[in-house]
Amino acid sequence: MPFDLDKFVASPSVEELDSLKKSDIVKVAKHYGIEFQPLMRKDEIKRYVLEYPVDESILPSTVLETAITVPTDNTFELKRLEMEMNKEIRLKEMEREREREERESERKEREMQMQKEKEEREMQMQKEKEEREMQMQREKEAREHEFRMKQLELGVIKGSDPKVGLDAGVFDISKHVKFVPKFQEDNVEKFFNHFEKLGEQLKWPRDKWSILIQSNFTGKAQEVYSALSIEDSMDYDKFKKAILQAYELVPEAYRQKFRKYRKADTKTYVEFAYQKERHFDRWCASKKVSKFDTLRQLMLVEEFKRCVNDDIKTHLEENKADNLKEVANLADQYALTHKFAKVGQTQNKGQFSRPNKKYGNNSGTTGNSGSQSGSISPTNSGKKQPDSSRQKNDQVSSNKAAFKDIVCGFCHKKGHTMSN
């Protein structure tokens, strides 16, 4: 609705003046002849307009008291300070709220940590309690076992007569276990020999030997015995063999000890001879040598292995043949399988090489005959065949025998190889 100046002048009121725009207030001021600056603010012009009706007694003087106070520079400064103060108050409140939340978070963390520590202490106490109970149970079982062993030794087991067990031929292990010698890891074989002698002298049943001897095992022997199956652990010979192998007390180890043993400066020759004999006896015992023919084969096989190359020797060791003929057959099979030609083999080193394709003529002379032949046959005027010619003829015969069963990989015919 447009502003009606005449109506306002006829009936001025503060309420209507408050609702006017600056342009309408300017019209009212001009109507009353009020001087003002065009750049003045609306509130300032409005106050001048209110002062005129009051001075003219058109409006009561109380109007000015309720009128809007024109802000001064101090008012703006106060307002700004008030706003800054309110801002600081809000920031402080926010800071206090943040601190309160942090304290609350820390409190919850402390409570959680305390709860966790409490649970850990309870778990630790429970674990210690269980360990104590287990320890007490083990001690109780140990005491009961010890008490029972004492009862067995004294023959006062409740409800039984010790004479009955003896009369019935029952073997009481608890009475004999104390006679088992102490286990010695540095001399395992001596321990077994001692135990077996005691077993024979005290007439222990052989099927009880495994139960008696295992009671004194320690170290590696105990580990080997624990790793065996129930059946093998009850077989004395099987677990004895397993323990000796664990301590490398096998025939090859005995052989090496016998061959490599040397006299120390601190030992007498009698002591050296005794130890040498002891190593030899152990070697023979491990190979079950009980008669001359077995000993003969043992020495021949060892010498044969010494004369062949390392690959064949390893192959023979893996097959564990004890007879010279068997060892030789295994060596031949290995040589043929691995394409070795047994030509040019030296007597001691056992080296294999290819057969020579050309032989028979030599530029050297023999004796005083002035012959140019380097290969003299036995029928040649009855003259003695030179060693070099004889070796070459033996080599040719060996070549033919070696290649008799060899098959060519190209034409599949016998007697030669593809490279020949």
Tell me whether residue 60 is in a domain. yes
Tell me whether residue 204 is in a domain. yes
How far apart are alpha carbons 55 and 6 in whole angstroms?
20
Residue with tokens 């065996």: 228
> What pLDDT is attached to residue 120?
92
Assess whether pLDDT exceeds 70 at residue 143: yes
Assess whether pLDDT exceeds 90 at residue 67: no
Domain end residue (candidates: 25, 40, 70) = 70
pLDDT top residue among 363 and 241? 241
CA atoms within 13 A on the CB side of 415: 3
Assess whether pLDDT exceeds 90 at residue 381: no
Q: Per the structure, how many domains does the chain have?
A: 3
Tell me whether residue 190 is in a domain. yes
> What pLDDT is attached to residue 102?
92
* 17-21, 228-232, 382-386, 394-398: range with lowest mean pLDDT: 382-386
Tell me whether residue 274 is in a domain. no
Q: What is the mean pLDDT of the chain?
A: 72
Q: What is the mean pLDDT of residues 370-389?
A: 43
> What pLDDT is attached to residue 364?
39
**DSSP symbols for 33-66:** T----TTS-HHHHHHHHHHHHHHTTSS-THHHHH
Tell me the C-alpha to C-alpha distance, in Å, between residue 307 and each of 199, 304, 341, 398: 43, 5, 16, 18
Reported confidence tier of residue 362, pLDDT bands at 50, 70, 90: very low
Q: Are strands 371-373 and 361-366 parallel, antiparallel or unpaired?
A: antiparallel
Assess whether pLDDT exceeds 50 at residue 2: yes
Residues 279 and 285: beta-carbon distance below 8 Å: no
> What pLDDT is attached to residue 273?
78
pTM of the model: 0.28
How far apart are alpha carbons 93 and 364 in whole angstroms?
122
Nearest C-alpha neighbor of 184 from the set 147, 220, 139: 220
Angle between helix axes 292-307 and 310-319 (nearest 10 degrees) is 150
Domain end residue (candidates: 70, 88, 103) = 70
> What pLDDT is attached to residue 56?
61
Residue 145's CB is within 10 A of a number of other CB atoms, namely 10
Domain end residue (candidates: 70, 86, 116) = 70
> What pLDDT is attached to residue 68?
47
pLDDT top residue among 263 and 358? 263
> What pLDDT is attached to residue 153?
59
- Give the model confidence (pLDDT) of 152-185 as tens digits: 656 544 444 444 334 445 677 777 777 888 877 7
Tell me whether residue 46 is in a domain. yes
Residues 305 and 331: beta-carbon distance below 8 Å: no
Assess whether pLDDT exceeds 90 at residue 114: yes
Reported confidence tier of residue 407, pLDDT bands at 50, 70, 90: low
Reported confidence tier of residue 263, pLDDT bands at 50, 70, 90: confident
> What pLDDT is attached to residue 115?
92
Q: Largest alpha-carbon pair distance within the chain?
A: 181
Assess whether pLDDT exceeds 70 at residue 16: yes
% of the chain residues with pLDDT over 70: 68
pLDDT top residue among 110 and 365? 110
Assess whether pLDDT exceeds 50 at residue 363: no
> What pLDDT is attached to residue 109?
92
Q: What is the mean pLDDT of residues 14-39?
A: 80
Reported confidence tier of residue 406, pLDDT bands at 50, 70, 90: low
Tell me whether residue 350 is in a domain. yes
pLDDT top residue among 48 and 54? 48
Assess whether pLDDT exceeds 70 at residue 210: yes
> What pLDDT is attached to residue 108?
92
> What pLDDT is attached to residue 203?
85
Query: How big is the CA angle at 293 (ends 292 and 297), to the nearest 5 degrees?
Result: 115
Tell me whether residue 243 is in a domain. yes
> What pLDDT is attached to residue 73?
54
CA dihedral 6, 12, 18, 24 (to 10 degrees): 20
> What pLDDT is attached to residue 344?
46
Tell me whether residue 43 is in a domain. yes
Q: What is the mean pLDDT of residues 284-304?
A: 80
Domain ranges, residue 178 = 173-249
